Chain A
Amino acid sequence: MKKITIDPITRLEGHGKIELFLNDEGDVENAYLQIPELRGFEKFCEGRPVEEMPRITSRICGVCPGAHHIASTKAADAVYHVDPPPAARKLRELFYCAHIIHSHIAHFYALAAPDFVLGPTSDPAQRNILGLIAKVGLEVGSEVIKHRAYAQDIQAVIGGKATHPVCGLPGGMSKPITEEERKDFEEKAKSLVEFAKFSLKLFDDLVLANQEYLELITGDIYAMRSHYMGLVDSNNRVNFYEGDICVVDPEGKEVARFKPADYLGHIAEHTEPWSYLKFPFLKKVGWKGMVDGKDSGVYRVNSLARLNVADGMATPLAQAEYERMFETLGGKPVHATLAFHWARLIELLYAAERLLELCRDNEITSPEVRTIPTATPDEGVGVIEAPRGVLIHHYQTDDKGIIEKVNLIVATVMNNPAMNISIRKAAQGLIKKGKVTSEGLLNMVEMAFRAYDPCMACATHALPGQMPLEVVIRDSQGGVIQKLSRHLTAKPLEIEILGG
């Protein structure tokens, strides 16, 4: 059996590797996404005071530190049985909207858009954020940079730093915002709403108006019929900050709805010896291996999952876009993996609208942002929608609030089984008779997991937004028979046929 190795790809907090095995006919028999890293937060957080956890666990991810910070803060609230004052709750959500905006802008423009604006099989030297700016103009590029910076600025004012904020404490926030800061945020939020509308228009003009791309999005290579999981508010709308966890099956039927604290009744994790990352699944459906469909416990999280699970968006402009997406793609649930990108832009608009609402809230500058906890600490779960999906922090402490046990289930891990399936499916659809025909194919394999914005988005949040990728085709003795790799921007694609 031939083995195709894609190594290194860039992934969350380090490197990842894809192994594709080809059968005697040269078709893809199986695919493995291997995650070669582990840092052990669950273990080394033992012994730390729970109020320090929001500052420690943000370091799980430097791209979505805000998500870990807020999930951890909510878990610490629960440990101390304390509710933050209303202004603190709103301030956290305001901060968090800015966080989602930063992440979604960076992901769409630096990572996703080049595939569509320049084309999935376009010159790899151009297929990046710099090529994108060259195509759409420096003016647009400057708007992208400016608006991501707005989102970072808002987080930094509230949290001290945008990357690794320090504002969350059990019972509230470390400081209130001033009226001057509120006014500044409001102006930025107005501009962000316009920018989100612009981004959706760009997606319309450059992606949806292109029949070839529309077929790619709705085609079979990138489709996967799975369960979906997301947080919803009391009106069943998408909510990033709080709510119930809802699960729908591949037909869109609700099969579970539970409080975050009850996650252990619904989510379990499988281990494989070939990856440091575990494989979460729906406990009541069960682990059936790396397969999709109604009988498999594999589920997906992140933007499209949230929209599939909810009945709509809580703000008017985003709601209209939500309806338009499902109309265009044939109703709920949408199984097209590439539609995660579209859903992400609808969420960008929602987050900007919600940010603006919160900036105009009379209570938002209230100095009452702290409740001093008085109950004996014991155990708590904090759940939030990270930009990449449901994020669970679960802490148990002694009666002084010192951590005894930690369990963390992060969004990219939840999508781990689905990413394996999507990669296999894309590779099976693209690689036939052992032939890897073009560099564009490599990019199209990448597109299968890029849609999930796994935390390797760290990579693609950066210039020029393209992952390093190398494909080596080996014979069954391990000899290299073909090698494909992408080179630096200025150079054309080079294909080395090394033998066989």
Chain B
Amino acid sequence: MAKPKIALYWASSCGGCDVAVLDTNEKILDIAGVADIVFWPIAIDFKYHHVEAMEDGAIDLCLFNGAVRSSEQEKIAKLLRAKSKVVVAFGACACFGGIPALGNFTNRAEIFQRAYIEAPSNANADGTFPQTLTRVSEGELELPEFFDTVLTLAQVVDVEYFVPGCPPPVDIILKVVDFFATGRLPPAGSVIASDKTLCDECQRIKEEKKITRLYRPHEIIPDPKRCLLEQGIICCGPATRGGCGLRCIEANMPCRGCFGPPPGVIDQGAKLVSAIASIYQGDSEEEIARMVGEVLDPAGTFYRFGLADSILKRKHCQQP
């Protein structure tokens, strides 16, 4: 039997998902042994035209990381979809938008204004902005177009599986490889992680107690054995899927939700609001108003990784 063909691609992302693949250490050699890597722009010399020349469905598995925020990324997502039997949204950005999707609180014009005009180190008296087409003395230079809105991969193409995490942990990466090596594929649409919440998997002591105030992480030294939320620190554990290995919790820091919503939850942020509301003890309207005020950045905290995939999707922006 021919070895399965794997493609890896990155779009709007940081490269951390690719380092995560590298962090399989010596097992990367095993992966190269059981599969042919036919496209991995960051590592191997196949070009878009090589992919274009492939027959539809020629790639067995495509691991696509990064969100989609440019016309080029959208084009490659569609190309890889056509050429792949199975497409996996790999990592938080491809699954939910991730940190780049915090850009959906703003838009292209505001980002350009800040980056190229306002930033205090700029020496740009002429107000130059990058252009998709520039005429220089020797000829023309092109740049791809930058979207207003960051999209998840599934908002652009059909996706079979979702591997969450920022970045995905090594055990889950090896699990995905094993599915393909053995042909034991889970049902389409599966999220390859735990079906429990992070809270369910967390070993910290929970006392089912109520809280009367919130602390920001730098304002308190939390007991490393007790539930962070019950110590007044916002932790996204109740509204986040498990399977991450509790990496942040072990470092005595609260979850920020990079594994996305647990099964049955459509909107991670809405679920978090209700989880926090249920633990908050407030007897008067003033108390409640104070507590609400203690959540300083609700949108950026509850939708840290999931804005593009939420019901909100983005801040409303007026089109010129």
A contact residues vs B (CB 8 Å cutoff): 1, 3, 8, 10, 12-15, 19, 21, 29-30, 32, 34, 36-40, 42-49, 51-52, 55-56, 59-63, 65, 76, 80, 106, 124, 130, 142, 145-146, 148-149, 152, 156, 158-167, 169-171, 174-175, 263-264, 267-276, 278, 280-281, 283, 287, 370, 372-373, 394, 400-402, 405, 407, 409, 455-456, 458-470, 476, 485-489
Contact = CB atoms under 8 A, between A and B. Distances in A.
B45 A124 contact: yes
A169 B119 contact: no
B45 A487 contact: yes
Interface residues of B, number: 86
A160 to B, nearest CB: 3
B121 A48 contact: no
Which of A3, A163, A405, A465 has the largest count of B CB atoms less than 10 A from its CB? A163
Nearest to A152: B23
A59 B139 contact: no
Interface string B269-303: 00000000000000000000000000011011100
Nearest to B93: A59
Interface string B125-163: 000111100101111010110100000000000000000
Given A32-B141, A47-B105, A59-B16, 20 more contacts: A1-B139, A8-B47, A21-B138, A39-B103, A45-B102, A48-B297, A51-B216, A56-B99, A62-B19, A163-B23, A174-B217, A370-B221, A407-B121, A459-B18, A460-B43, A462-B19, A462-B21, A462-B42, A468-B44, A489-B45
Contacts of A152: 23
Contacts of A158: 251
B102 A65 contact: no
29 contacts: A21-B139, A36-B143, A39-B100, A39-B103, A40-B106, A43-B106, A47-B300, A51-B217, A52-B301, A56-B102, A62-B13, A62-B19, A65-B16, A106-B22, A130-B32, A160-B248, A164-B167, A166-B247, A167-B251, A169-B217, A169-B218, A267-B121, A269-B122, A274-B143, A402-B296, A405-B118, A459-B42, A487-B45, A488-B44
A275 B130 contact: yes
A237 B250 CA distance: 36
Contacts of A60: 14
A43 B251 contact: no
B12 interface: yes
Given A14-B10, A34-B143, A488-B45, A269 B119 contact: yes
Nearest to B131: A273
A75 to B, nearest CB: 13
Contacts of A460: 42-43
Contacts of B16: 59, 61-63, 65, 163-164
Nearest to A469: B45
A164 B251 contact: no
A459 B131 contact: no
B259 to A, nearest CB: 13
A472 B118 CA distance: 38
Given A42-B115, A271-B128, A274-B136, A462 B141 contact: no
B189 interface: no
B208 interface: no
Interface string B7-50: 00011111111111111011010001000001011111111100
B55 interface: no
Contacts of A476: 139
B121 A30 contact: no
B47 A485 contact: yes
B72 interface: yes
B170 to A, nearest CB: 10
B207 interface: no
A409 B56 CA distance: 43
B43 A278 contact: no
Contact of B121 (A264, A287, A461): A264
Contacts of B187: none
B203 interface: no
B164 interface: no
A464 B43 contact: yes
Contacts of A456: 42
B185 interface: no
A402 B294 CA distance: 12
Nearest to A283: B123
Nearest to A65: B16
Contacts of B221: 370, 372
Contacts of B114: 40, 42-43
B147 to A, nearest CB: 11
Contacts of A148: 25
A462 B19 CA distance: 7
Given A13-B14, A49-B296, A166 B253 contact: yes
A470 to B, nearest CB: 6
Nearest to A402: B296
Contacts of A281: 123
A43 B45 contact: no
Contacts of B118: 405
Contacts of B15: 12-13, 61-63, 455, 458-459
B120 interface: yes
A460 B41 CA distance: 10
B144 A48 contact: no
Given A268-B121, A268-B123, A462-B43, A372 B139 contact: no
Given A36-B143, A160-B253, A463 B28 contact: yes
A65 B130 contact: no
B57 interface: no
Given A280-B121, A459-B42, A43 B110 contact: yes
A115 to B, nearest CB: 15
B44 A489 contact: yes
B140 to A, nearest CB: 8
Contact of A159 (B72, B166, B251): B251
Given A13-B15, A51-B217, A287-B123, A468 B138 contact: no
